[in-house]
Amino acid sequence: MEKKWVALLLTSASLGLGAVSSSATTIESSTTDSILGTSESTEVTNSTISQTSDSTSTNQTIETKVQDKESFKEIDLSPEKYGVLLDKSQFYFESIQDLESNQNEKSSELLVNQILKLDKEFESLNNDIYFHFEAPNGISGYINQKNVQRTESNSFATISNAIKVFKNTKLTEELPSELTTQKTFSIQEELVINGITYLSIFKNKTEFIGFINKDDVSVSDNPQGNYQKYDNYINIIKDKQDIYQNFDFVKKNNTSNYLNKTLHAKGIYYHSNGINYLSVFDQNEKWIGYIKQENTVNAVGKQGNYTAYGKYITLTKKNYDLWQNFSWTPKSKTDKYMKQTLIAKGIYHHFNGERYLSVYDNNDRWLGYVNEKGTTLANGPQGSYHSFNKYITIKSKNYDLWNSFGWDKRGHSSNYYGKTYKARGIYYHFNGNKYLSVYDNKGKWLGYLNETGGSITDSPEGSYQKLNKYVSVTTRNYDLWQNFSWNKKSTTSNYHNQTVYAKGVYQHYNGSTYYSLFNNKNQWLGYVNKNGVTLAEGAQGIYHSLWEDVTFSNSNYPVWRDFNWSKKNTTDNVKGKTFKARGVYYHYNGSSYYSIYNKNKWIGYINADAAQNYDMNKLIPNTESLLAVHQIVCQKVLDDSSRPSSIIDKVLSMSTISRNQIKFKNNYFVVSLNGRGLGMDEIKLTPKEIAPAVDYRLLPENQIKGAIPKLNKNKKYVALTFDDGPNPVTTPQLLNILKAKNVKASFFMVGNGVDANPKVAKRVSNEGHQIGSHSYSHPQLTSLSGYQVQNQMRQTDKAIYYATGKLPKTFRPPYGAINNYVSNLVSKPAIMWSIDTRDWESRNPYMINSIVNNNIHNGAIILLHDIHQPSVNSVSEMIDNLRRKGYTFVTIDELYEMQERPLHGYFSQTNSIKY
């Protein structure tokens, strides 16, 4: 403002002030140019008037300011500004006229610490600036900007939580928090009132919002505001939207690449432009970029949000969990619903990168959430095609074969009844049924058949069908098959003329029919082509022409009228007489029945046992059997001798008996010993005693009961064997363990060890364990002469006999070294092994048991050494482990049901060789 001054010099007397010190008083006034009517200013020079006082008056100069009116340039403030008057000593003008004339100044005491709304600005020619203001208490006026406290700001305030936002300058009226929370506003100025800093905030820098306490917000220099922790999982719901590298909005990616995926929004920016931006990461902590929140939706958790899916799926992988929730509480396993077709009503795109389906069965029962990787998407409710490659025997005449899953018919099961076909594929339909894609053996497709219309097997023989008829084996040299992989079990020659029971029949995919045969002990004989047998009318089998003379030597046998066992007479009337047996029936019960005639008169059916005798060539069918009989004879000779020690060398060295030295007399097998110098001419063996060495099936069952141990074919067996003992320290420890565990084992002892520890050997025998020979001094037998081999074995036989009273009937060659030459010299069954624990090498119970656990199988023979402490220490755990696996412990004799034979090597229950 341009100022004009007038200076007046007045005496104190003239002013009525008395004596005063010399001073100058300045009075300032101004007027606007409009009032003066000119833009120029006029200056009046100061004049000084002096008056002298005789005594006390002093000259005083009073300077008085005189001002003309002055003009201002008016500027509207948009948006309005705000300020605070802090000093009550300042003044203001009520009107523009007062401002222009510089008159009527008002005290600002009532404006102190009030927020003033500043809506206009007035600037003078000399650059003085005044604001027009409105105070909260209703006062308005004009005030010099120098007296107004306000700090301009270009910063931004982010309101992340509900705070007080005052919409009036009194700071009494609050805006609803939902209008301001989670938003960023521009700051126009900072205002300090009573020590509290308030911010005036605006939307888009133009629209006034209100006043906030600076301490309640975070302030940033950037329009996006400060980073706010968000920590929510989101799904991208809009595609083709930009993802930004920064807030200069440089593009980084596109939402199309993440559509429906679940991501982690760690932070959020409430941008002052009104848009919220999420700072998003993937499951690998890789930053994706900034995404508009409007392009996303918050997820309920890491699983993301439920999305309707409505597709059929088939569970195709095992061991996937079905989850109860996304806290990973297991509900079930896919194994339970393997290959079933289900409906996935919904899908979750989980943050971990996996997709989880919400799965229901055909009863609308929710099964859980399953990883999509454990499933296969199906083309329809029939589910996915699964390669099947099994065989189906049509068992029903009431099923349609379908051309498609639109249920158009292709054929009918009645046309294929009883036959076996190939099911190349299978569909596990959502309706709960399984449908097979069926082909004949020429490769012709027959259609889709409900699985329940047939019976399925893995093998081309088809499914088992009941037959329950008796057949006679009438043709030699037909194979009896172990299985339909054509592993040979036997031949019909071994059962020629026998009557057996065909329990079932298989109509093979190859077009042939096979019977499943059993003997009268319910022992399975194998599968035979039906052309190798003849169907019989009953259990007697078919009639075989004989025309032989038969003399009956036994009385009290019935003479039967028929095979319904209608008794006609007894053999008392025919004993000692000879009749003509025109025919014979080989009955299923194991007996043979002659059809007896006296000349042309039919007498009846008589059991052939009434004329009992044995063909030794059939009873003892081979050399191995004869050597086994010889072993029994040797033991019997020693048992019957009053001085066994005097003849043991002769017994062990005597030549093998022959078949013609064995006769059946008075229900005994009498063995002639003439000329052998044993102090006895013969020995007698009961059928039960000789049974283990011969074809015991030819002996009367009631006479050999208990002679042949029988294993349960449905159980698993294992034989523990221990070499190189007995040891005076470790073997008793082992026996204690076996006794506590109720386990019987087999010991292959060295003769010198038995001689040194006969009591230990005796205890082994007394406690029910089997003892075999392991040579006398553990040499490699294949490197010895014949004499040396025999000497090793005979010395061991004697040592074991003297200790236990029993000759060992089996042996194990040291180091497993055996050949045909050694086998013939020893003439005992060679018991090898199928699991070598190598306990002598590791001396480590853990490693020993690991080898056993990793190699165990049904019928295994386990090789151990009872002379090593670690080996003994391993046994208790071994027994427990194998029992948990379902194994039963047996001796070698039990494992082979007493049928192990000399000249053979045995590696396991099912693996043997002949030397």
Pairing assessment for the beta strands 465-473 and 355-360 based on DSSP bridges: unpaired
Determine contact, residues 905/818, Cβ cutoff 8 Å. Answer: yes
How many Cα atoms sit within 13 Å of 824 on the Cβ side? Answer: 7
Determine contact, residues 864/839, Cβ cutoff 8 Å. Answer: yes
CA–centroid distance for 326 within its chain: 18
CA distances from 455 to 390, 394, 396, 826 (A): 10, 7, 9, 53
Phi first, then psi, for residue 848 (nearest 5°) are -60, -50
C-beta atoms surrounding 171 within 10 Å? 18
Determine contact, residues 352/328, Cβ cutoff 8 Å. Answer: no
Of 865, 866, 868, 893, which one is the catalytic site residue? 865
Determine contact, residues 348/304, Cβ cutoff 8 Å. Answer: yes
CA distances from 577 to 372, 381, 545, 557, 609 (A): 87, 81, 21, 14, 15
Q: For the chain, state the CA radius of gyration.
A: 58
Residue with tokens 């206009």: 120
C-alpha span between 496 and 498 (Å, rounded): 5
Segment 609-617 long-range contacts (CB within 8 Å, at least 24 positions apart): 609/554, 609/557, 609/700, 610/552, 610/553, 610/554, 610/557, 610/571, 611/550, 611/551, 611/552, 611/553, 611/554, 612/553, 612/554, 612/664, 613/664, 614/664, 614/698, 616/659, 616/660, 616/662, 617/659
| Beta strand extents in 856-908 (DSSP E only) | 860-865, 887-889, 904-908
Pairing assessment for the beta strands 385-394 and 454-457 based on DSSP bridges: antiparallel
Looking at the DSSP assignment, which residues form a beta bridge with residue 281?
A: 264, 287
Is 774 one of the catalytic residues?
A: no
C-alpha span between 180 and 162 (Å, rounded): 8
Of 349, 429, 630, 723, which one is the catalytic site residue? 723
Looking at the DSSP assignment, which residues form a beta bridge with residue 290?
A: 244, 279
Looking at the DSSP assignment, which residues form a beta bridge with residue 91?
A: 107
Residue with tokens 């982010």: 158
Is 54 one of the catalytic residues?
A: no
Phi first, then psi, for residue 318 (nearest 5°) are -80, 165
- Catalytic residue numbers read 723, 865
